[in-house]
A = this chain, B = another copy of it.
Amino acid sequence: MEIGRPYSRLLYRLERSGTLSPQDRRRVAELPLTVTNIAAHQEIAHQGDAPSRCTLVLGGFLFSHKLASGSRRQITSFIVPGDIADLHTLHLSSLDHSLSALGPAVVAFLPHAELKEMLDISPQLSQAFWRETFIEAAICREWLTNLGRREAIARVAHVLCELAVRLQAVDLARNLAFLIPWTQTDLADACGISSVHANRVVQELRRMGLVDWDARQVKIRDWDGLARLGDFSDHYLQLRTARTAIKDSAPLEVKVPESV
C-alpha cells in the first residue's frame, strides 16, 4: 500500500478532470497528514460527531452507514482508496452518517484547518475537490435509483459493476476481478435487502455464470450479462479517461478479457 506516496491516488483522481498546476500538486502533496491503521469493523467516526479532520483512504475499504428505525443498517457508500470519506465535515457542523472500515484499512487524516487554507488559496484545487463531491452525489443518486426501482438481483449486479469500474480506475481490479473484505450481510445492507436474500441472489448470479465469488474475491465472468442484468452504465461515474484506460472503447459493448 505505497505509504511512501500517500497522495498519489488522490492526485490521480483530482486530475481526471484536468491537469493541476505543479504548484497545486505540491500543495496537495505537502498537506500534513497522520497515517493510521484501522482495524476491521472499527468505527472511525460516528453519526453526530463533528470531526476536525478529513479521512483519506490509502488502502482497504471504508463504508458510510446510517441506522433506520433504531436497528436497521443502511450502507450509504463504499469508499475506496483515493477517496476522501468525509469531505463534507469541512463545511457541515455534524456528521450525518457513521464511518467504518469494512476490513483492515490504512487511512490518512487531514486537518480541516490546513485543507481549508489550501482550498482558499487555490480556486483550481477547490474546483477539483468540489467536483469529487459532485461525483459522490451522482453515485448516491444512482444508488437511490437502484434501491427504489430495481429488484434484488439487479441491485446486487449493479453494485458489483460499479465497484469493478471504480476499482479498476484506481488499479485495484484487473480483468474485472477484485478483492473486497465484505460479508454478504454488508452487501445486503448496501442493497437494502436481507442477508438471507443476498445469499440467494449471489448463488443465482453464480448459477447464471455471471460471477465467481469465493469468500472475498469477486470475479465478473460475463460483464455484458451482469451489466445488462444490473441495468448498469458507467456514465454517472464520470470516468472518461479512466474508462478508456480500462477497456479502450465503447462503454457497454466491452468484451471481457479472456485471460484469468
Interface size counted on chain A using CB atoms at 8 A: 54
Q: Is the CB of B74 within 8 A of A144?
A: yes
Q: Is the CB of B147 within 8 A of A144?
A: yes
| Interface mask (A91-121 → B, CB under 8 Å = 1, otherwise 0) | 1111011000000000000000000000110
Q: Is the CB of A235 within 8 A of B154?
A: no
The answer for the CA separation of A136 and B133 in the assembled complex, in Å, is 10
Query: In chain A between 65 and 79, which residues have their CB closer than 8 angstroms to a CB of chain B?
Result: 66-70, 72-74, 76-77
- Identify which of A67, A126, A189 gathers the most chain B CB atoms within 10 Å of its CB: A126
Interface membership of A140, Cβ < 8 A: yes
Q: Is the CB of A92 within 8 A of B141?
A: no
Residue from B69, B145, B189 within 8 A of A76 (CB atoms): B145
Interface membership of A192, Cβ < 8 A: yes
Given A137-B136, A192-B149, CB of A127 within 8 Å of CB of B72: no
* Residues of A in contact with B (beta carbons under 8 Å apart): 17, 48, 64, 66-70, 72-74, 76-77, 87-88, 91-94, 96-97, 119-120, 123, 126-127, 130-131, 133-138, 140-150, 154, 189, 191-192, 231, 235-236, 238, 240
Given contact pairs A48-B235, A66-B144, enumerate 13 new A-B contacts (beta carbons under 8 Å). Answer: A67-B145, A68-B148, A68-B150, A74-B145, A74-B149, A76-B145, A119-B126, A133-B133, A133-B137, A137-B137, A140-B141, A144-B147, A148-B192
A-B contact pairs, 26 of them (CB 8 A): A66-B144, A68-B231, A69-B150, A70-B231, A74-B144, A74-B145, A76-B141, A76-B145, A77-B141, A88-B134, A91-B127, A91-B130, A92-B134, A96-B138, A96-B142, A96-B235, A96-B236, A119-B123, A119-B126, A123-B123, A137-B140, A140-B141, A144-B147, A148-B189, A148-B191, A148-B192
